[in-house]
């Protein structure tokens, strides 16, 4: 494997652009970004925006009526086979266009994909364009491919996309993510990646590139480059937030001139595009501030659900086990679950685990996790089917637990897991993205509907963070949900002591 200690060696310094200036320029365009998120983890870089897990007319009206710069629609297409993914994307785009016309809102679409290049590309972007044309709306002139996610160590330099590992930066085509059983690939150069994923229909030579050399020359040079490449697919570099803000400022100019873009991006592009500043992590240790955000939350312990199998998730689980006072662990044996063809046996397995979780929640936090042996099917579709079976079991367990006890929070780790727990386990259809719990990587939602309205819901991607990240988030959440009466009593005792001393 080829590691690079510093692919930025020799690169110019980034150009400073203020996010509020970008925000003002975006507001002047009078349009709303609609982010079709292929799993819930794409919300990790933004704050104070609506997110939908359903796309009925009423749900879309609810989001648009808040007049947001952007809102998210959780499509969860990364868990679907290609045909179902296309059908879902087209349905969302069709419904959004219909309601946007009714409300007189100019919407532009963002296809949020994985920063390690996994997902249905170009299937989803093609479906979006097809549906826009079918609705009689102006089609995008170009698709911008911007997978960079600097906070998580995914950067693009000279069109080569890198992922950070413990050993250094590695071209993403050489990483564990490229070996994904469903969405695997070999290319690290985004231009070659497009050719690979389109099976040669779009050649690498026809993909335009906006590199750091352009971005770090400034906004005007970037405007000129965008004007010259306003068709086809454009691969864009980024290695830090300033690079994205320069691009966003240039896009304000070019889109203001009438060019229409479709975006295929990693998480932070939306933040930069609308001019949101990087949000500091929410201080979950501040109990009073937490209760202002979540005034109706219970003071029980929390439920952590881990379905992700990538290496970092397993290492994070091991670190949680080593906490001074670790949560209780309840394991779903994937081999036993998928080996049985008897529905009654499968139901017995998940019912017993739900009872175990309920008992354990009486005394502390609980981690419900899948066994670590990754099972795969003979085909990519077969592997997705196994993943859906396991996720359905986790959903069943969560619903059975909620019928008996309400945790103070739910944290779900992994893309398919966090989507299915939100939509099927908790019945969340509308939520507000409160902000990050870890810098730009772990998203905190407040449920605005469903079985847990007002509850904190934490979306923790499977492929981000260090070995201690999950442990630190659980620590924060348990501290935040400590019974308020304890803090208030100690406050009273402190004041009484002060009076005695006086």
pLDDT tens for the chain, 502 residues: list them.
455 568 998 899 999 999 999 999 999 999 999 999 998 888 989 999 999 999 999 999 999 999 999 999 999 898 889 999 999 999 999 999 999 999 999 999 999 999 999 999 999 999 999 999 999 999 999 999 999 999 889 999 999 999 988 778 999 999 988 998 889 999 999 999 999 999 999 999 999 999 999 999 999 999 999 999 888 999 999 999 999 999 999 999 999 999 999 999 999 999 999 999 998 888 766 767 777 888 877 767 999 999 887 788 889 999 999 999 999 999 998 888 888 777 788 889 999 999 999 999 989 999 999 987 766 666 766 676 777 788 889 999 999 999 999 999 999 998 888 889 999 999 999 999 999 988 878 999 999 999 989 999 999 988 778 899 999 999 989 888 765 433 333 343 343 344 333 3
As beta bridge partners, residue 457 has: 410, 445
pTM of the model: 0.87
CA 58 – CA 160 distance, rounded (Å): 42
Ordered alpha helix ranges (H), 184-310: 190-197, 212-215, 219-228, 241-256, 268-274, 287-293
As beta bridge partners, residue 233 has: 143
What pLDDT is stored for residue 464 in this prediction?
79
What pLDDT is stored for residue 308 in this prediction?
82
What pLDDT is stored for residue 399 in this prediction?
96
What pLDDT is stored for residue 14 in this prediction?
95
Residue 405 exposure: Cα atoms within 13 Å on the Cβ side: 24
SS3 233: strand
* Cβ–Cβ under 8 Å, residues 194 and 219: no
Residue 204 CA: distances (Å) to CA of 128, 193, 208, 393: 22, 8, 9, 42
List phi, psi (to 5°) of 10. Answer: 90, -10
Give the residue from 426, 446, 421, 447 showing the smallest Cα distance to 435: 446
CA 407 – CA 452 distance, rounded (Å): 9
* Cβ–Cβ under 8 Å, residues 302 and 478: yes
* Cβ–Cβ under 8 Å, residues 232 and 194: no
Ordered alpha helix ranges (H), 68-211: 82-103, 123-134, 190-197
Number of helices followed by number of strands (H, E) in the chain:
17, 18
């Amino acid at each position: 494997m080829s590691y690079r200690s510093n692919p930025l060696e020799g690169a110019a310094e980034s150009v400073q652009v203020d996010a509020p200036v970008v925000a003002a320029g975006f507001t002047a365009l009078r349009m709303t970004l609609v982010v079709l998120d292929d799993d819930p983890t794409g919300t990790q870089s933004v704050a104070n925006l609506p997110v939908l897990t359903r796309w009925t007319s009423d749900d879309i009206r609810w989001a648009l009526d808040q007049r947001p710069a952007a809102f998210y629609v959780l499509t969860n297409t990364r868990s679907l086979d290609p045909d179902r993914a296309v059908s879902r994307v087209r349905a969302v785009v069709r419904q959004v266009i219909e309601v946007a016309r009714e409300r007189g809102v100019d919407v532009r679409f963002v296809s949020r994909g994985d920063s390690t290049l996994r997902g249905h590309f170009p299937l989803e972007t093609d479906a979006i364009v097809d549906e826009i044309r079918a609705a009689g709306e102006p089609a995008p002139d170009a698709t911008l491919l911007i997978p960079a996610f600097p906070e998580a160590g995914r950067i693009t330099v000279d069109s080569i996309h890198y992922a950070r590992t413990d050993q250094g930066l590695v071209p993403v085509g050489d990483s564990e993510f490229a070996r994904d059983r469903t969405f695997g690939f070999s290319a690290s150069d985004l231009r070659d990646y497009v050719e690979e994923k389109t099976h040669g229909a779009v050649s690498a030579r026809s993909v335009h590139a906006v590199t750091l050399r352009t971005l770090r020359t400034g906004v005007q040079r970037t405007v000129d480059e965008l004007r010259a490449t306003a068709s086809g697919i454009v691969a864009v570099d980024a290695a830090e937030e300033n690079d994205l803000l320069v691009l966003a400022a240039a896009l304000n100019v070019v889109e203001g001139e009438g060019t229409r873009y479709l975006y295929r991006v990693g998480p932070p592009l939306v933040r930069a595009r609308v001019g949101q500043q990087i949000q500091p992590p929410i201080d979950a240790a501040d109990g009073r501030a937490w209760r202002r955000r979540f005034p109706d939350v219970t003071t029980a312990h929390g439920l952590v659900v881990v379905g992700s199998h990538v290496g970092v998730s397993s290492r994070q689980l091991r670190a949680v086990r080593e906490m001074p006072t670790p949560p209780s662990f309840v394991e779903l044996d994937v081999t036993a679950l998928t080996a049985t063809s008897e529905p009654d046996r499968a139901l017995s397995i998940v019912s017993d685990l739900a009872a175990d979780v309920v008992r354990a929640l009486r005394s502390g936090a609980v981690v419900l996790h899948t066994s670590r042996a990754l099972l795969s099917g003979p085909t990519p579709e077969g592997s997705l089917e196994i993943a859906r079976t396991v996720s359905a079991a986790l959903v069943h367990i969560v619903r059975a637990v909620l019928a008996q006890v309400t945790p103070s929070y739910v944290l779900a780790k992994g893309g398919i897991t966090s989507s299915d727990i939100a939509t099927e386990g908790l019945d969340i259809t509308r939520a507000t993205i409160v902000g990050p719990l870890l810098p730009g990587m772990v998203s905190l939602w407040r449920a605005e509907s469903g079985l847990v309205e007002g509850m904190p819901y934490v979306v923790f991607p499977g492929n981000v963070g260090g070995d201690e990240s999950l442990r630190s988030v659980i620590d924060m959440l348990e501290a935040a949900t400590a019974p308020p009466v304890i803090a208030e009593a100690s406050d009273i005792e402190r004041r009484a002591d002060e009076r005695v001393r006086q």
